[in-house]
A and B are shown apart, each in its own frame.
Chain A
Amino acid sequence: MIPILLAASLLAGDVDAQGLHRAVKAQKGRAVVVNFWATWCEPCVKEFPDFVALAKDRKDIAVISVTIDEASDRGAVEDFLKKQKPTFPVYLKASGSDEAFINGVDPKWSGAVPLTMVYGADGKRLLFEEREISRKEIEAALGKK
């Protein structure tokens, strides 16, 4: 049973910008936190446990995680996830143009990671932060439970 649970916490697959937007919309009625990260990004690695804890404690919030690591770094990503044990889906950025992915997510995005976007249950975006962010800030943006 445990190996099955661990396997379920690993990469959910590849995602392009359109697929990501669909995944966010599919959570209609729930607040959504989308975090972009990479194994080589120190602040991303540092803040990741906050997202793991948030997803465990707040079932009213959907967390979607996207790593921009290259497909060739899949092993490092999976090793990282084995340790972190996220309960939310973690996608690998689909292969193809990085710039098209960045602009497809949001033309406002410079391409810097970490990037965290927070949407309210009504689908309205409340936060767009290209920096390390804390759980406290996310919960403050979403208001009281």
Chain B
Amino acid sequence: MRQYLAVVGLALMASTAAAGVAIGDKLEPFALKDATSGKDVDLKSAAGQKATVLMFIATQCPVSNDYNERMASLAKDYSGKGVAFVGINSNKQEAADEVAAHAKEHGFSFPVLKDPDNVKADQFGARVTPEVYVYDTDWKLRYHGRIDDKRAVSEVSSKDLSAALDAVLTGKEVAVAETKAFGCTIKRVTK
């Protein structure tokens, strides 16, 4: 029986791992290379005083690209409020130099880290671009999902990332902690 429970336990752990991170999960801050400088960026030093937003983004995905201006503007708007933004590019076909050029072209004030072999995308269970994760100062996941609900700015009716950040900054629970939107698949390496 004990052996059976151990097997079931392992199976459950495996299925949780495959599903990625969940709301409330704690993140062990990690380091990845900044696509622009080529230097390691440790999330511990890149973190905001009150919250950190990790964004899985792309250079070639039309949906992610529709959010370039919104990402740049959100990062700027919230930088004075103690929120840091960090981009992560896990797409196998988008090399670091392309990621760096894209970040420069779109005026990103935040670092974009290259995730070789989509190791972090797998760890998070990130599947689409853009897809964001909001962490508080204890590195607890408070929000996961879309930036807002429509690609076309004029059709947006729910600014989910802003709402989540505003809740975290005012010490409130995030009312809608998980959301979804259409996007591009993260192009992974075959493992």
**Chain A residues with a Cβ under 8 A of chain B:** 38, 40-43, 68, 70, 97-99, 102-103, 109-114, 130-132
Contact = CB atoms under 8 A, between A and B. Distances in A.
B96 interface: no
A112 B60 contact: no
Given A99-B180, A112-B183, A113-B182, A70 B152 contact: yes
Given A40-B63, A70-B152, A110 B180 contact: yes
Contacts, number: 55
A102 B185 contact: no
A131 B149 contact: no
28 contacts: A38-B182, A40-B63, A42-B60, A43-B187, A68-B182, A98-B150, A98-B181, A98-B182, A99-B146, A99-B179, A99-B180, A102-B180, A102-B181, A110-B127, A110-B131, A110-B183, A111-B128, A111-B181, A111-B182, A112-B127, A112-B182, A112-B183, A112-B184, A113-B184, A114-B185, A130-B127, A130-B185, A131-B185
Nearest to B131: A110
Contact of B185 (A98, A103, A113): A113
Contacts of A131: 185, 188
B149 A98 contact: yes
Contacts of A113: 182-185
B107 interface: no
A40 B180 contact: no
* Best-buried of A97, A112, A130 by chain B (most CB within 10 Å): A112
Interface residues of B, number: 21
Majority SS at the chain A contact face: loop
A110 B179 CA distance: 9
B61 to A, nearest CB: 9
Nearest to B188: A131
A14 to B, nearest CB: 16
A114 B179 CA distance: 19
Given A38-B182, A97-B149, 16 more contacts: A40-B62, A40-B63, A41-B62, A68-B182, A70-B152, A98-B150, A99-B149, A99-B181, A102-B180, A110-B128, A112-B182, A112-B185, A112-B186, A130-B127, A131-B188, A132-B185
Contacts of A38: 182
